[in-house]
Structure 1
């Protein structure tokens, strides 16, 4: 059985491998691309090309577990970007003998089935961390945070795999009192 400290010790190696894999698979430089924020960019980071691959998902999960606040019981965020990260993190945690659940925040509530915007085996009131594959403005983070807090889940951390915001997201999270970690920046990917 491992604990989070074991992942913290090995994060440097996992992060180095993740950066190399993302440079190979996820970085697209033949733009222009329209970002979720509406901004145009000459480069695009398609995180799903890494997070939806077995090796990539494992590296991402190890990095998330390496920076995760102690006491977090579940990880997730806005569907679709956070989904493979959350599930991968829960699986890698389970393989290490740790308990971790994944959740997803729908873009809108479903009118059928169990309805609602939150999907996953959560226990009301347990501390959660919100995730995002790539962030530019933090809008998906903030939407996930509001949905989770309104449903009674304390959000104790926000983690981005890649942050291209030049400090904007960190400032927004700080304004909301949410500890924030960005694993990778454009400079790490030789894009800065």
Structure 2
């Protein structure tokens, strides 16, 4: 179970950003932007699924997630940990083990046979559920999983994404309006700060990334991507 050590939030964010760079999970390219699933053009891309392949980093990041939740939400606030299909499933198993809690997972869509359920595992009526994802941009997929758990009788007031883009203010506030507090370990600004300290990219690239973080949709539109998330 969790060792109950509590680094500062700033130190956890810095170390997590360093880990992501170390395993080459972070990519900057302002010349040939990445195209995200939303249609946005972006000079940054992150692959948090790589964390699972590095046991020491994986263990430390789950400790960071546990520390974040215990500090910000409390020690006895949850009955179950849930992960969303697919990236959240192994993370939920690891975090549930750290916190000494049962684990369930949520399908993106009901399975096409049997009971057609979206929830897999034992979810008691009224159970307080913590939902974990590897990353979130504006909280849309996370809220989809949360709504499925609520529909099945669970109570969800907290969600955690190990990595939060933190480029759309309405992401966190929108979830709050739906009764969910969003927690995270690190954001793009933490990753950019670590890149500057370690001098991983030239100033032009770092400047473009900074411009994107400040005005993502405007940057996207100027580089061939969508200008609105509704596009």
Which of the pair is proportionally richer in helix?
2
Greater displacement, 130-139 / 25-34 = 25-34
Distance change (3 Å), C-alpha of 1:29 and 1:159: same
Unaligned runs of 5+ in 1: 94-98
2:62 paired residue number: 61
Greater displacement, 144-153 / 14-23 = 14-23
Distance change (3 Å), C-alpha of 1:114 and 1:15: farther
1:155 shift after superposition: 0.3
Distance change (3 Å), C-alpha of 1:2 and 1:133: closer
2:28 paired residue number: 29
Q: Which aligned pairs between 1:1-192 and structure 2 lie closer than 5 A? A: 6-7=4-5, 9-10=6-7, 12=9, 14-25=12-23, 26-30=25-29, 32-68=33-69, 69-70=73-74, 71-93=77-99, 99-113=100-114, 115-166=116-167, 167-190=169-192, 192=210
Give the alignment's Cα RMSD to 1 decimal.
Answer: 2.3
Q: Any conservation in 1 of the 2:108–2:145 contact (CA below 8 Å)?
A: no
Distance 2:162 2:52 in 1: 10
- Cα displacement string for residues 144-179 of structure 1 (whole angstroms, at most 9, x for unaligned residues): 111011111000201111111422321111111211
Greater relative contact order structure (CA < 8 Å, 6+ sep): 2
Q: Any conservation in 1 of the 2:12–2:185 contact (CA below 8 Å)?
A: no
1:52 shift after superposition: 4.4
1:114 shift after superposition: 5.1
Tell me how many residue pairs correspond in the alignment. 184
Distance change (3 Å), C-alpha of 1:116 and 1:163: same
Q: Normalization by structure 1: what TM-score?
A: 0.83
Q: Normalization by structure 2: what TM-score?
A: 0.71
Instruction: State the secondary structure of the residue aligned to 1:137.
Output: coil
Instruction: State the secondary structure of the residue aligned to 1:112.
Output: coil
Q: Any conservation in 1 of the 2:162–2:186 contact (CA below 8 Å)?
A: yes
Distance 1:140 1:100 in 2: 23
Q: Any conservation in 2 of the 1:160–1:182 contact (CA below 8 Å)?
A: yes
Distance 2:156 2:188 in 1: 26
Q: Any conservation in 2 of the 1:57–1:85 contact (CA below 8 Å)?
A: no
Distance 1:160 1:113 in 2: 31
Distance 1:146 1:178 in 2: 11
